[in-house]
Structure formats: structure tokens, C-alpha cells
Structure 1
Amino acid sequence: MSQPPPSHTTDSPWQIFLLFLRLGLTSFGGPAAHLGFFHDEFVSRRRWLSDVAYGEVVALCQLLPGPASSQAGLTLGFLRGHYRGAVAAWLGFTLPSAVLMALFALTLTFWPNAADGGWVAGLKLFVVAVVAQAVWQMGQTLCPDGPRLAIAALVATVLLTVGVVWMQVLVLVLAGAAGVLLKLPGRSGESALTVPVRSRKPMAFAVVFLVLLAVSLVPQQAGTLGWIGAELYRAGALVFGGGHVVLPWLQESFVGSHAMPADTFLAGYGVAQAMPGPLFSFSAFLGMAQGSWAGAVLAVLAVFLPGTLLVFAGLPLWAWVRTHAMVRAALTGVNAGVVGLLLAALYDPLWTSAVHSSGGLAFVLVAWVCLAIWRIPVWVLAPVSALAGQLLF
């Protein structure tokens, strides 16, 4: 049976906000699950757009830096309610998890010794299993052949040898160049998503993105609001692959600069796995842990802003991008490099800081089996891991 054509009715920002707020409160399971929830709600039930058009939205967001599921929600809001609809969709989907993560950080502020308990050890081991599963799944999708596996392995090797932030950017650029040289295949086909452009706004968004990226490179004193904004904006602007891949970037920024203890950082990241909504809301924890609600708000805005600007700039260019084989090949190479980036992070800092004994290794293996084989949701496993850690360590 053919699907009815999508409706082009414009909803009010308030209606869009309420729809995405419900999803922000109930969408557990990470980016892949979020995209499934969006499809069920806006394609199958509400007929906002066709299956083919939704596939185009997902493909575009997966090619851009930033949180793919949040960018997809933002795009759906934009297509339904223009810029105000996009803001309403992002706010509704992000607000619940951001507030919960900020409150968790506030708890640690009033109870400084809480991060010294065995529950933190359990969460750290749980995060190792989560990222190992992410590497496995992303490797199967993004590295299905020898050339892409080689790119991922070389990226991981370089990062484990030279573990500095600027090297992460360089190896992803080189991975893109390798994709062009090797003529790696990318998605192609006739675009079903059309976004008419009647102004110069897309170019303006691209310029703002680049200007803010340049400003974020200006050195700041660690722990200040300016430093928080710069670090989070840079992470959101340069990270391909979503929430798990942002981990090594933020770990280097907040732990490497001694602005936050490693145990506190990984405890917050572990709790973020149990939250509904986008994993990038972990930024609220980082901002609040520096001492204020202003830091939490700034951190959330800063990490999501680059992806938002790129969506607004990239939507009108999507039809052009997907018809150019060289661009698709470069992005395919970058995606393979992302797998290597995450593989390196799996060892350092995660494995080196969490697994110190055979018991810890056994804990990780059990958690991984629960995730990969038994398909137990992460929002169930996170508190269970914390409780087990409190009892065992």
C-alpha cells in the first residue's frame, strides 16, 4: 500500500515543543533508538513527511558533525515550523535530560565525596562496555571493507601514539583525503528532500559557524564561562559520530586540563547513558560541575549550536552534496576515521582508568553481553552497574 503524501501544514512552535518534549521524556536507547522514535511518530503516525524524505534527513544529519538524532529532530521541526519550529523541537527534546544531568552535577557539588564510592567504579566499567558496543556497531556499519578498516586502524594507531587534541582533527582530515584517493563509495541517488532557498540565510549560518569556531580557538583560563563555551563549541563543531565520539574530546578538555577529576567525569558520562534524549546533554553536567547554572546553560547551548548552524546551512546544499562523488568519498573516509577515534578512546582513557583487575574485566564482559547479546537497555544497565559496583568494589 502506498503511503499518503506528507502534509505541508505548519504547526505552532508550542505544538511542536510539546510533541518533542514527550519524546525527550521517553526516548531512551541512544541515537539509533531516537531515529526510530522519530520515524514512528512523524512518518508512520503523523505523516509529516514520507519514508524517502525522512531517509534523506537522517543521511544529511549523519554526514554533519554533531549529534545526529538531535539534528534530525531539529530538521523535522524546521520543515514543519521553520526556524521557530526548529528551536521548539530542539528545546523539547533536550530539556529533560539536560535538567536531570545538571541536577546530578549539583548533587555532587553538595556531596563532594559521593564520587569516591564503589558506584563510580561500576559506572566506569559500564561505560567501557557501552563504548565497546558502539565501536562494534559503528565498525560494522562504517567499516564494511578492507580499505575502511585500514583507515580506522591507522587512525587508532596514530591517536594512541600521539594523544593530543589537534591530532584528532588532523587524522580525520587525512581520513577524508584517503577516502577521496581510494574513491570510497558513498550514498547516492535521487534526492527526495527539497528545501527551497529564497535568501542568503544559509551562507550567513555557515559564516557564523566558522567565526565562532575561530573564536573558540582563542586560549581561555580553564574553568571560566568563556573556557566552558569554547571547549563545548569546539567539540560540537568537530565531532563526527555523535555522543560516544565526543567522549575523548571532552575528556581531554576537562580532565586533561585538571578542571575535573577523571572519576567524576566518567561517573557523569555513565549516568548520561541512563537518561532519555540526546547524550550530548552530558554537557549540562560538565557546565554545572564547574559551579553554576549559567555554566550548565552555556555548555548545552555551546555544544548544540554548531550542529544547529550546520543543519541550517546544509539543508539547501544537500541535493548538491549527494550528487558529488568526491564529497561523498571524503565523508565516507571521515566516518571510517571516526571508528578509529572511538577505538583509541576505548583503550585510553576508558580501559586504562577503569579496568585494573580480572574482576573489572569480568564486569565489563558481563555488561557487554547484556548489551550486545541480551539487548538489555542502557537505561536499565546504568543504575544496575552502579549498584553492583557499590556492592563489589
Structure 2
Amino acid sequence: MTTETQPSRASFWQIFGLFLRLGLTSFGGPAAHLGFFHNEFVKRRRWLSDSVYGEIVALCQLLPGPASSQVGLTIGFLKGHYRGALAAWLGFTLPSAVIMIGFAVGLSLWPEASSGGWVKGLKLFVVAVVAQAVWQMGKSLCPDRSRVAMALLVAIGLLIIGETWMQLLALAIAGGAGALMGLGSDRAADPLHLPLQSGKPVLMGLVFLGLLLASFLPQVSGSLAWVAAEMYRAGALVFGGGHVVLPWLQEGFVASGAMPADTFLAGYGVAQAMPGPLFSFSGFLGGAEAGVAGGLLAVVAVFLPGTLLVFAGLPLWRWLREHRAARSALAGVNAGVVGLLLAALYDPVWTSAVHGPMDFGLVLLLWVALAVWRVPVWLLAPLSAGVGVILPL
């Protein structure tokens, strides 16, 4: 292990302060977050080399959960062990989580606000955002006809049978099909030299699996235990980043009848305008269901599985990514993820927001603003809400 890849230790508060600043300023979603991290910790502070940072990013992309947050806590771990990982996660997540929980509490105190025109504007904005996410992920994760067809079949299956078990089955079938078809297996994986020794990977893995099994046990809807179970299950099963958490949470909170689609999509629209991780949307859902305690529990529960997998899964994935069948299965799962998000784009996102020609025209305009004019989401979200107030949508 070289001195280049073994940075000196930093204090909890030093790591927390750096990531808090990033949590307050890192707009733009996971890809932008990774750019901010690279600039801060590779270029400016030289905590990591380019090669080690690239390995961390590649490995976290393979794991379920919020990739940018996982990269951040891994950097914190390398600089300050488990205390450093906690400091990194707290600093990066805290600003957006506090805002989203506060937004949920505000809506509970002023329920009439959720029926205003600004909610309609945000819902149309969410249609454009999710459509753009489907487009971008489709280009990168479905580069050939086989994977395009796989994504479409997954979407069709989920639109016909939208239960949680169908989502799991569809991704499992996609992974199996990818392995059988040998998708994306021509290029061998680059060798890894990531200097990460968690020391407790088996224990972390067992805790992850035990909590995942417990999350499927029946709970009283709206209770703290129910909120924790829904969030943990979503965080454990999400491949593909923040936007993909939408269909998992929609199934638990909207399709189950626990929350109106309007409220759900309004919260999701506000989350787009926040800096930091999109998974902080969980704070809004938990806060709307069970107050501040529910919001805090939801944030911890949705990030916990990805955190456990970082420490439990890195040694396993270091081995798996060198094997062709594993890479092919992952390529199939990623194609299935595109189908998962495509199905969510139609129901509930499109069906609850677009009800006429004017709605459709505004969605097209917002999509052009995102995809062509590159208007940042933190600016476009409040503009959309304002349009909803001004125009008779």
C-alpha cells in the first residue's frame, strides 16, 4: 500500500465541515456531485489520487443505493475511518434533509397549500425531470437493441402488474437474461487496487440481509416501523441512482393509498431544487407520514442499506466485477432499471400531472429547458411552481 493511496487522518469536525459545505452547494444530481468531490478531494486537497477516486466511483456504481453518497462516505472512511464516514454522510445529507423534513411539517400545518397551483407546476416539472432521466439513462445503460427491448419489456410488465414483487422479479429476470446473453462482457474489468479494509464485511452483510428480510414483514401503515421498512427496502433495492428510488417509493406510499399522488410529486419536485443527495426526498415522505421523528427515521433508513453495502460489498464486488457472467448480469439489471423508471414516468408521474394540451406543451417546454438549454434544476423548479400559480393549469 503506497503513501499516495493512504491519506493521513482528519478529524471528525474537519471532514464534517468540508462535506457540509458540499451539501449546501452541490446542486445538479449525482453526476455533478461526483464532479464536486473530484475537484475538492483529488484536485484541491489531494486526499486521493485520480486512479483511487476512479476505483471508488466504479465500485459504488455497482452497488445498490445512492452512488454519490456512497462515494462521499467512502472518502470519509479513508480519511477518518468509521467516524470519518459518519461525518461525511452527515455533512452532505443534513442540509437537504432538514429542508425536506421542514417542508413536510409545513404542509401538515397548512394542508391547503398542497392544493395550490404551485403544486401543479411542480408536477409538470417532475414529468420533464423524470423523462430526461429516462433518456439519459437509456442512452448509457441501453446501448443496443437487446437492452432497449429488455427495458421496454420490463416497463410493460410493470404497467400491467405494478406490485413490489413484480419489480423484484423483473430485475431478477433482466439480470438472468443479461448473463445468458453475455451483455456487455467483451471488455474485461480494469484491475482494482482500492486500499479499503473494513475489517467487518461479513457482519455488515448479515446486518444488511437481516434488515432487508425484516422490511418485508407486515407493518401498520403510517407507523414509524412502516416508514422505516418502506425506506430501507427502497434503499436496498435501488440500482441506478436517485431518480430510480421514485418507483420504489411510489409503490409504497402512493399505490398503497398512504399518500396522495399530488403530495408525493410536489415533494419530489421540491427535492429536485435542493443541493445534496436526492434520497433526502425520504425526509419529506417520512415527515408527512409521522412528523419530525418519521422524517429523521426515513432519512437514516433509506441511506443505511447503501452504507452497509459499501463496507460489506466492496471486497465481494472487487471479485465479481472481474468475472464475465457477473458483468453481464449487472448490464441486464441496469437495462431493467431503465424500464422500471420508464413505467414510473407513465404512472404515477404522467397520469397525475398531464391532463390536457396546455399541460403537455409545458412539459415539452420544461424538457427542452433541461435537455437543450441546460437550465439548472434548482432554478427551473421554482420557475415551474410560479408558472403553476400564474397560469390556469
Q: What's the TM-score, normalizing by structure 2?
A: 0.96
Provide the rounded CA distance (Å) in 1 between the counterparts of 2:318 and 2:273: 37
Provide the rounded CA distance (Å) in 2 between the counterparts of 1:306 and 1:224: 20
Q: What's the TM-score, normalizing by structure 1?
A: 0.96
- Mark the runs of 5 or more structure 2 residues left unpaired by the alignment: none
Provide the rounded CA distance (Å) in 2 between the counterparts of 1:173 and 1:350: 25
Provide the rounded CA distance (Å) in 1 between the counterparts of 2:258 and 2:336: 28
SS of residue matched to 2:243: coil
- The answer as to whether partners of 1:213 and 1:233 remain within 8 angstroms in 2 is yes
Matched with 1:382 is 381
Provide the rounded CA distance (Å) in 2 between the counterparts of 1:62 and 1:154: 24
Provide the rounded CA distance (Å) in 2 between the counterparts of 1:287 and 1:294: 8
- The answer as to whether partners of 2:5 and 2:52 remain within 8 angstroms in 1 is no
Amino acid paired to 1:191: L
Matched with 1:215 is 214
Matched with 1:56 is 55
Measure how far apart 1:253 and its partner are: 0.8
Say which is worse superposed, 368-377 or 58-67, in terms of deviation.
58-67
- The answer as to whether partners of 1:6 and 1:47 remain within 8 angstroms in 2 is no
Matched with 2:362 is 363
Q: Deviations over 1:294-325 (max 9, x none)?
A: 11111001000000000011122343122111
Provide the rounded CA distance (Å) in 2 between the counterparts of 1:263 and 1:171: 27
Q: Deviations over 1:181-238 (max 9, x none)?
A: 01112561111323246x4x10000000000011111100100001000000000011
Provide the rounded CA distance (Å) in 2 between the counterparts of 1:182 and 1:78: 38
Matched with 2:109 is 110
Matched with 2:76 is 77
Provide the rounded CA distance (Å) in 2 between the counterparts of 1:50 and 1:158: 44
Distance change (3 Å), C-alpha of 1:7 and 1:209: closer
Matched with 1:145 is 144
- The answer as to whether partners of 2:215 and 2:232 remain within 8 angstroms in 1 is yes
Equivalences for residues 239-250 of structure 1 within 5 A: 239-250=238-249
- Is 1:173 aligned with 2:172? yes
Matched with 1:35 is 34
Provide the rounded CA distance (Å) in 2 between the counterparts of 1:20 and 1:321: 31
- The answer as to whether partners of 2:117 and 2:389 remain within 8 angstroms in 1 is yes
Matched with 2:156 is 157
Measure how far apart 1:329 and its partner are: 1.1
Q: Deviations over 1:96-117 (max 9, x none)?
A: 0000001111110111010101
Q: Deviations over 1:53-88 (max 9, x none)?
A: 111111111111111111111111111111111111
Amino acid paired to 2:380: L
SS of residue matched to 1:136: helix
Q: Deviations over 1:153-205 (max 9, x none)?
A: 111111111111110010001111011001112561111323246x4x10000
Matched with 2:273 is 274
- The answer as to whether partners of 2:238 and 2:245 remain within 8 angstroms in 1 is yes
Matched with 1:191 is 192
Provide the rounded CA distance (Å) in 2 between the counterparts of 1:73 and 1:148: 30
Instruction: Report the number of matched residues.
Output: 388
Amino acid paired to 1:238: L
Provide the rounded CA distance (Å) in 2 between the counterparts of 1:315 and 1:83: 15
Provide the rounded CA distance (Å) in 2 between the counterparts of 1:337 and 1:55: 25
SS of residue matched to 1:276: coil
Measure how far apart 1:354 and its partner are: 0.4
Measure how far apart 1:6 and its partner are: 4.8
- Is 1:237 aligned with 2:239? no
- Mark the runs of 5 or more structure 1 residues left unpaired by the alignment: none
Matched-pair identity in %: 69
- The answer as to whether partners of 1:240 and 1:338 remain within 8 angstroms in 2 is yes
Provide the rounded CA distance (Å) in 1 between the counterparts of 2:126 and 2:142: 23
- The answer as to whether partners of 2:223 and 2:290 remain within 8 angstroms in 1 is no
- The answer as to whether partners of 2:62 and 2:317 remain within 8 angstroms in 1 is no
Provide the rounded CA distance (Å) in 2 between the counterparts of 1:262 and 1:346: 13
Matched with 1:292 is 291
Measure how far apart 1:7 and its partner are: 5.7
Provide the rounded CA distance (Å) in 2 between the counterparts of 1:240 and 1:291: 27
Amino acid paired to 2:195: T
Say which is worse superposed, 371-380 or 291-300, in terms of deviation.
291-300
Provide the rounded CA distance (Å) in 2 between the counterparts of 1:158 and 1:317: 31
Amino acid paired to 1:266: L
